[in-house]
Homo-oligomer: A and B are copies of this chain.
Amino acid sequence: MSGQAAINLAGSSDAPRVAPAALAAFVKRAFEAAGLPSADAEIAAGLMVEADLRGSDTHGVIRLPLYLRRLKAGGINARPHIHIVEERPATALVDGDNGMGHLVMRFAAMTAIEKAKAAGVAWVGARMSNHAGPAALYAMMPLAHDMIGIYLAVGSNNHLPPWGSTENLLGTNPIAIAIPAQDEAPVVLDMAPTVAAFGKVRLKMQRGEELPAGWMIGRDGKPLTDPKRAEQGLLLPIGDYKGYGLSLMVGLLAGALNQAAFGRDVVDFVKEQGKATNTGHAIVALSVDAFAPAALFKRQVDAAVRVMRGAERLPGVERIWLPGEQSHRKRQDRTKNGIPVPKPLRESLDAAARELAIAPLG
């Protein structure tokens, strides 16, 4: 199953397209059959399809079979009591009761937004959660309220050592920041502090392709490019010790501070399907109006976007992209033309339908 997230997506643009609503309806059916209350099934399905709409093909519906296996094995609680365990005017700590990460983080984001309306900013941490899909999903939730969103999470397995070490004690802990614009797409950064995501490594492993130098090193400290050795390799952080520092800080802020798993306590959610991961996240909602009129700020963001996009280009560069702009374009295309469902993904969804005795994806 560890390769599930890396089903070959090459040529996914040529794959048959499925209407987002049909895909969401299928995922909802699957979660209902797995024991989730109907309203929760609908929310989780909607967020997973939203991930696919934005082009996060490795973090959306492709993960459904894994989530279903974890639900069946008891590694995810289908009917959690998601609740606030500690609260201040501008903070909250949410216990997810081992529910689906999407449900926990939507609850946390809504809590942060409500609190930020009164306080100007809010920071909400979560523990006893699970993998929640792409980080951008949650950082973007405050946007509709003219708020900036910041999201941090502890990754669901460790592939990064402290700088100078050979032990994978840290995750590709993602950071996402979303800033609203007026007519332009919101500026949305969603990044892991490693040069390459492990999903990209898995793809190269499956295809038997050499890894580019700079992605991984071996335990001998030398560049590791042989895909057959990648499982034993160490991801390289961006900026050497800087990426290590970022991953460590996200781990402390989203994990340790919330009494969620961090470091050696991180449970590999692929390999230990029956075990609670105690995944930690944090979300910040920051009200633009607490600093400047939102309409003014959003026009300024538009202007900044256009200055960056219009800047003089290096030879051979066709376009300067803003963070999140390509995902925004994919979303426009896929909303209109459907979400590509390559054959291996279709087969895995069909298999899930058979196992759950539900109607397959139409």
- Whether a CB of chain B sits under 8 angstroms from the CB of A191 is yes
Q: Nearest-CB distance from A275 to chain B (Å)?
A: 20
Give this chain's copy count.
2
* Interface pick from A14-22, A88-96, A200-208: A88-96
B238 touches A312 (CB 8 A): no
B313 touches A165 (CB 8 A): yes
B89 touches A263 (CB 8 A): no
B163 touches A119 (CB 8 A): no
Q: How far is the CA of A252 from the CA of B179 in the complex (A)?
A: 8
Task: Report the nearest B residue to A264, measured CB to CB.
Answer: B307
Complex partner residue of A118 from B89, B122, B242, B286, CB under 8 angstroms: B89
Task: Report the nearest B residue to A288, measured CB to CB.
Answer: B257
Complex partner residue of A312 from B148, B163, B166, B301, CB under 8 angstroms: B166
Complex partner residue of A191 from B88, B242, B291, B315, CB under 8 angstroms: B242
- Whether a CB of chain B sits under 8 angstroms from the CB of A137 is no
* Interface pick from A33-41, A72-80, A319-327, A345-353: A319-327
Q: Nearest-CB distance from A136 to chain B (Å)?
A: 12
A162 touches B311 (CB 8 A): yes
Which A residues have a C-beta under 8 Å from some C-beta of B?
86, 88-91, 93, 118-123, 125, 148, 161-167, 169, 177, 179, 187, 189, 191, 193, 195, 217, 219-221, 238-239, 241-246, 248-249, 251-253, 256-259, 262-264, 284, 286-288, 290-292, 297, 300-301, 304, 307-308, 311-317, 319-323
